[in-house]
């Protein structure tokens, strides 16, 4: 039950799941009390985090009043030239080539992606396994389901559906998701081979 309360508080449940959750919580006083206690705790934590950090002042650096040393400046110039020469020399040996960039191909698995979007004219998928390029899904008859099967390499991937060209949706059939840097959510898919 703690997991469902957490999902409810973090607004990670669908509307139907929220309705089911509230009906369940309403029927059991202990669950309601636990959910309210967790919400109060979250409120206290968020209020505590709103206080600004104390201001810190650093001591001013001491300024040297001595005369400039020409040998010190020349030493710095020689060191800079040596670093520059070494970086060019090392860069020549570390330049990536197509052979050392490719490496072994990770094993891939066919994975079927399905989403229900009734009354939609277009659904696409984008993710780390498509190099974030949009790939169109195909409608499955006139039922409102859209689908595609893609080869997905092993590893952990982030992805989302794009509905009608601009609405980003995480996969509702996958529980693991995280917020991205643009205010949307990406589903997390782990492929093991």
Residue 167: CATH number of its domain? 2.60.40.10
What's the pLDDT at 2? 59
What's the pLDDT at 67? 63
Q: Is the pTM higher than 0.95?
A: no
Dihedrals phi, psi of 90, to nearest 5 degrees: -70, -35
Mean pLDDT per block of 10 residues along the chain (193 residues) reads 62 70 73 71 63 61 58 76 72 54 70 92 94 93 90 93 92 87 86 81
What's the pLDDT at 145? 92
Contacts with 58 (C-beta within 8 Å, 6 or more apart), sequence order: none
What's the pLDDT at 82? 77
The answer to whether residue 86 is domain-embedded is: no
The answer to whether residue 91 is domain-embedded is: no
The answer to whether residue 155 is domain-embedded is: yes
Burial class (CB in 10 A: 0-12, 13-18, 19+), 171: buried
Whole-angstrom distance, CA of residue 116 vs CA of residue 95? 47
> Are 164 and 120 spatial neighbours (Cβ–Cβ below 8 Å)?
yes
Domain that holds residue 11: 2-48
Q: What is the largest CA-CA distance in the chain?
A: 85
The answer to whether residue 68 is domain-embedded is: no
Total domain count for the chain?
2
Tokens of 72: 């010190």
One domain, residues 44 and 113: no
SS3 54: coil
């Amino acid at each position: 039950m703690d997991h469902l309360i957490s999902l409810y508080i973090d607004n990670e449940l669908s509307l139907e799941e929220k309705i089911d959750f509230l009906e369940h919580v309403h029927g059991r006083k202990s669950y309601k009390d636990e959910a309210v206690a967790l919400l109060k705790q979250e409120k206290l934590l968020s209020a505590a985090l709103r206080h600004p950090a104390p201001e810190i002042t650093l001591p001013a650096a001491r300024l040297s009043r001595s005369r400039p040393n020409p040998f010190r400046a020349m030493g710095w110039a020689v060191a800079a030239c040596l670093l520059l020469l070494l970086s060019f020399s090392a860069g020549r040996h570390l330049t990536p080539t197509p052979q050392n960039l490719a490496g072994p191909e990770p094993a891939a698995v066919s994975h079927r992606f399905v989403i229900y979007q009734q009354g939609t004219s277009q659904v696409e998928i984008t993710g780390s396994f498509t190099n974030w390029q949009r790939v169109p899904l195909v409608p499955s008859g006139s039922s409102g389901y859209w689908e595609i099967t893609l080869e997905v390499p092993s590893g952990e991937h982030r992805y989302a559906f794009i509905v009608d060209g601009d609405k980003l949706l995480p996969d509702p059939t996958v529980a693991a998701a995280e917020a991205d840097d643009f205010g949307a959510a990406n589903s997390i898919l782990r492929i093991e081979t």
